[in-house]
Chains A and B, each alone.
Chain A
Amino acid sequence: MDIKIKVENLRVSYGKGEILKGISIDVHKNMITGFMGPAGSGKSTLISIINRMIDFEEDVKIEGGVYLDGDNILDGEIDQVNLRRRVGTVFAVPIALPRSVYENIAYGPRLQGINEKTELNIIVKESLRKAFLWDEVRDRLNKSALKLSGGQQQRLCLARTLALKPEIILLDEPCSGLDPISTAKIEEALDELKKDYTIILVSNNTKQIARITDYAAFFYMGELIEYGPTERVFTNPSEKKTEDYIQGKFG
């Protein structure tokens, strides 16, 4: 199986507190990998390393290596703009930019210099389709994206990320504020998307991890406690902590 992202002995600290304490993990291509763990376990920090959004935080120290198709993305020379084109991100809170639905989706492609109307139309339509949002917004592409419901905005964010044509999609608790129906739609979309993308899903919801991921990783206090095929992790966890977490004894 192809490995898309290889993390080697990654240590991250903010100020004096160490958030990730030497993590090594391989993320497989065209799979959904779930990161789970209680608050403060470091799973979101790991995500922000992979898209280098961590660079916008202050007082951060990073050691170790993170390889994307073999290239170390922690290398100071790496082109961050290009990296974020390859690694798309959907955040926990759906944040639509203050402009129309269409212009939200077209934001990324326009940055890449795509300004031709017919080409943009295709990208917008395709992206919205893949995010299972097209049918709901096809008549209001030119209306403000801020008027969409929370669940629609989150799928808009997914579509906006897809419009970048990334290789990897990072989702940081994308369903934490959503109702069950919107959650189901996002999960349905992700299941389709994994054919073409490598997906990492951070979630506090163990049921969601069990439902839709192929591989699951359990983080606790900055350490990777357990990692393996989701079915194995959930039916036969090798660590007591994992078992307790999955059963809802803490977290």
Chain B
Amino acid sequence: MRINPRIIDKLVKIVLNSQAFFTVGILVAIVAVIFFKGSPHVNLEFIFSSPEDMGRHGGIFFTIIGTLLLVLLSILLATPLGVGTAIFLTEYTRESRFTKIIRFGVESLAGIPSILYGLFGFIFFVIKLKMGWSILAGVFTITIMILPTIIRTSEEAIKAVPRNFRIVSYSLSATKWETVLKVVLPSATPGILTGIMLSVGRAVGETAAIIFTMGSSLRLPTSLMDSGRTMAVHFYILAREGISMEKAYATALVLVLSILFINILAYYIMNRVIARYS
């Protein structure tokens, strides 16, 4: 016997709706907890003053600088490398065993736990290349860590650009590089930006790989060879060592807000690009 199709449709709708609400609900709950626990302690002074007594008092200015340096430099290094690799894989080679191996490697790298990157960074950059615990060692490690994400998302975005656009561009006397630059990349930008955003999220939230390579020293870095501390690491240490849960939540709130800010900025850039190239 067939169950009344209208009832089935209604049931499915209810189930799907509740799944969506459940997912969003969890997110809202997390943000709400951080907001209520953190907001009483967040103010301009907290953001712009130096930490005192291991972070028990004072602000988190040094860790904001540390986070900014680490994320910015990693993205600046990883984006050209990753997008370049994606362009090479999609536009400048034919499918072959070689590209399959690269792709397999990229996919495997994407699945490695971050602490292994940390360990590698520690052995290679910190010890072998004698960088010591430094922002630079952290930047290199995080760059390697986020490369697979950027390569994969860029590759998908580039592949999604219709072949016809390329054909038209060639027929209008463009070279391959001009076509990539003027037609392929603009159309792929929203997808590429998504990959960059995911990477920013990973870099901002990373702790293990960073403690291993950049260290956790709580002072204002004066050069890239200095050790430093990011907000995520600061939060981890404050909570883990029981230094101050209040400051930990306040740090977490600033972290969440900055990710929100970066996302809004990315959407703004994305919409500008889409408006121009559509």
Contacts and interface: CB of A to CB of B under 8 A. Distances in A.
Interface in B250-278: 276-278
Interface in B154-200: 162, 164-165, 167-175, 178, 182-183, 186-187
Interface string A145-157: 0100000000001
Given A93-B164, A97-B183, A98-B278, A84 B178 contact: no
A84 B172 contact: yes
A244 B96 CA distance: 47
A111 B167 contact: no
A85 B168 contact: no
Contact of B172 (A56, A93, A107, A146): A107
Given A53-B167, A98-B186, A107-B169, 19 more contacts: A82-B173, A88-B171, A89-B171, A91-B167, A95-B162, A95-B165, A97-B168, A99-B186, A99-B277, A107-B174, A108-B172, A108-B173, A111-B173, A111-B174, A111-B178, A112-B173, A146-B278, A164-B172, A164-B173
A160 interface: yes
B182 A107 contact: yes
* Nearest 8 Cβ contacts at the A-B interface: A84-B173, A108-B172, A85-B173, A89-B171, A95-B164, A95-B168, A98-B277, A98-B278
Contacts of A30: none
Contact of B171 (A51, A98, A99, A146): A51
Interface in B123-182: 162, 164-165, 167-175, 178, 182
Interface of B is mostly: helix
Contact of A81 (B164, B175, B276, B277): B175
A144 interface: yes
A98 B187 contact: yes
A97 B172 CA distance: 11
A84 B178 CA distance: 14
16 contacts: A53-B167, A53-B170, A56-B170, A82-B173, A84-B171, A84-B172, A84-B173, A85-B173, A98-B165, A99-B277, A99-B278, A108-B173, A112-B173, A146-B278, A160-B172, A161-B171
B171 A97 contact: no
Nearest to A55: B170
A161 B168 CA distance: 10
Contacts of A56: 167, 170
Contacts of B278: 98-99, 144, 146
Contact of A53 (B171, B178, B276): B171
Contacts of A93: 164
A168 to B, nearest CB: 12
Contacts of B170: 53, 56, 84
Nearest to B187: A98
Given A111-B178, A164-B172, A97 B167 contact: no
Contacts of B169: 97, 107
Contacts of B164: 91, 93, 95
A26 B235 CA distance: 78
A53 B172 CA distance: 11
Contacts of A97: 165, 168-169, 183
Contacts of A144: 278
